Amino acid sequence: MALTMAALAAAFQALEQTRRRGEMVAVLGRLLASADMQEIARVVYLCQGRLRPPFEPLEFGLQATLMSRALAEATGCPLEEVQARYQRLGDLGTVAGELLPPVGAGLRVLEVYDRLYAIAALSGSGAQGGKVARLAELLRQLSALEGRYTLRIVQGQLRLGVGDATILDALAASAGDPGLRALLERCYNLGSDLGLAAQLLREQGAEGLRRFSVCPGRPVRPALAQRLTSPEEVLRRIGRCQVEPKYDGFRLQVHRLGDTVRLFSRSLEDVSGQFPEVAQAVPRQLQAREAILEGEAVGYLPETGEFLPFQVTSQRRRKHNIAAMQETIPLRLFVFDLLYADGEAYLECPLSVRREALERCLRATEGETLCLSPALVTADAARFQEFFDEMVAEGLEGVVAKRLDSPYTAGARSYNWIKLKRGYRAELADTVDCVLVGYLLGRGQRARFGIGSLLGAVYNPERDRFETVAKIGSGLSDEGWRRMKEALDAVAVPHRPARVESVLVPDVWCEPRYVVAVQADEITRSPQHTAGRDGSATGYALRFPRVVGWIREDKRPEDATTVGEILDLFRLRRHETTRPEPPLPVE
């Protein structure tokens, strides 16, 4: 029996009304189990508040004013009244819940999905007017509850408190086998598409998930590194290793399929049009006709070759005036890994094999856009330190050491890769990526901005929650505070988001969407923050935190620093042992 939009909306309401993750998994599991073969992928996307996976650039392109107009047309309520209610309630979905009738026309989920897709895909002359008309037509057939969540999806603010990790748990539960969770996560890590993982599970079962492999055009979720404080510690843990520079730029995944080249950011966004010199260099420099590469794009001064800081390189992330900015801030992509080439997947191969294959594939001559990232293979701490010092002298952040026999661990943070940055031995010189979950109103001079400090959180992947770690009151200019308030007000919510755990109550809560780099002097224990509390009275907090740069548009909230990393940094500062893992002998 086809799943109705009313049933989907009822499940969304149940999710919104609970903060217990176990209940969320149960509700989602029942919902997904009720979806048939045709519906399952689309239902998963709707649970994510989207229509397609994140690497497919399909957006509704409707501002709140146009959505208000559609709701006014659908209900016959004057536009001024709709806007006044929106101003008061802060959520168009709630406004729809007040204005639409209690019972709708009984539309199926597939029908609503297809009509939403048609609205998002509409383009060309008169597209906005057409989108408003089609949205109004759809809303006329929806109930108050259905309309609430439909408008939130269009607005990009579903607010269910459900992350990808919870959906993966629910998919396993829907199949009645929690043991499938690992296979589902593997499929998601290799294809970055939860809807596809759900479809494979439903159509082919566990065997289909096992067979799934990487292919150009679908980004692989990036492997991530742990931290240590010295070459000696690194070598004690992983032995003889490959040491590479750590660049402070944009991590890019390059996909080539014949003459088609696509570039993906670490947040899985298609950024092909933003870095044309990289896309143009791939057919010229890459021998493989089909390939997936990873590298770091860094701005440089053409006159000297000197690397530019991230705050300068980040100006290349834009949708307009790309050609002019390309001339002002040229880029080089330092390629450090090969995941796929001409029909062969390399993820399970040892790093040493991947490096050899990369060197065969890439024509990296001097002056070209694609460069092979330098690499030192060593078991000698003194040579390691010398290489580290050389990289820092060139203006880089430090180095990344990689275990020679390690596979590429897609979507995971492990000690196969270990980053070592300048300043680890003094104050907390490494930045922490915090998710902004609220702000407090300003006092004194800040009163004129309406914002005085930010509430920052880190991610707990085991619990799929954001736990607070800092109240941040410095690092932004006057104009920066104004822009930050504007950005956060666009995602403000009337109550604490379901995925946020906080003792502090800010004046304005925000959906966990934006990530900022935060510098701090150290990490301390604090009863005011929830990061790492685990049932105790005190969590962990950043001391004297300040924002560095601006919002990291290349990072998703789930890409923020994890609670585990905060605990490791706390131990590193006190020269304690990190979380146990059997060390390998130095060769």
Beta strands at 546-551 and 492-493: parallel, antiparallel or unpaired: unpaired
Residues 184, 197: contact at Cβ < 8 Å?
Answer: yes
Q: Tell me which DSSP letter residue 35 carries.
A: S
Listed residue (250, 188, 227) closest to 414, CA to CA: 227
| Structure-block tokens of residue 462 | 């085991």
> Exposed, middle or buried, 483 (CB in 10 Å: 0-12/13-18/19+)?
middle
Distances (CA, A) of 204 to 1, 165, 180, 200, 212: 21, 22, 13, 5, 11
Q: Do 329 and 312 touch, CB atoms closer than 8 A?
A: yes
Distance between CA atoms of residues 11 and 500, nearest Å:
21
SS3 content of the chain, % helix, strand, coil (to 5): 40, 20, 40
For residue 490, give the amino acid letter. Answer: A
CA-closest candidate to residue 31, choices 19, 47, 53, 51: 47
Sequence-separated contacts (24+) of 15-21 with Cβ below 8 Å: 15/160, 15/161, 15/162, 16/159, 16/160, 16/161, 16/498, 18/498, 19/161, 19/498, 21/166, 21/463, 21/464, 21/465
CA 551 to chain centre: 13
- Taking CA 48 as the corner, what is the angle to CA 47 and CA 49, rounded to the nearest 5 degrees? 90
Which H/E stretch holds residue 195? helix 194-211
Tokens 């966004």 appear where?
269
Judging by beta carbons within 10 Å of its beta carbon (0-12, 13-18, 19+), is residue 366 exposed, middle or buried? Answer: exposed
Active site residue 471: no
**Residue among 131, 246, 419, 421 flagged as catalytic:** 246
Distances (CA, A) of 511 to 110, 179, 483, 485, 494: 28, 32, 17, 13, 10
Q: Which residues of 230-244 are buried (b: 16+ CB within 10 A; e: fewer)?
A: bbebbbebbbbbbbb
Assigned token pair, 190: 């290799």
Q: Which residues are catalytic?
A: 246
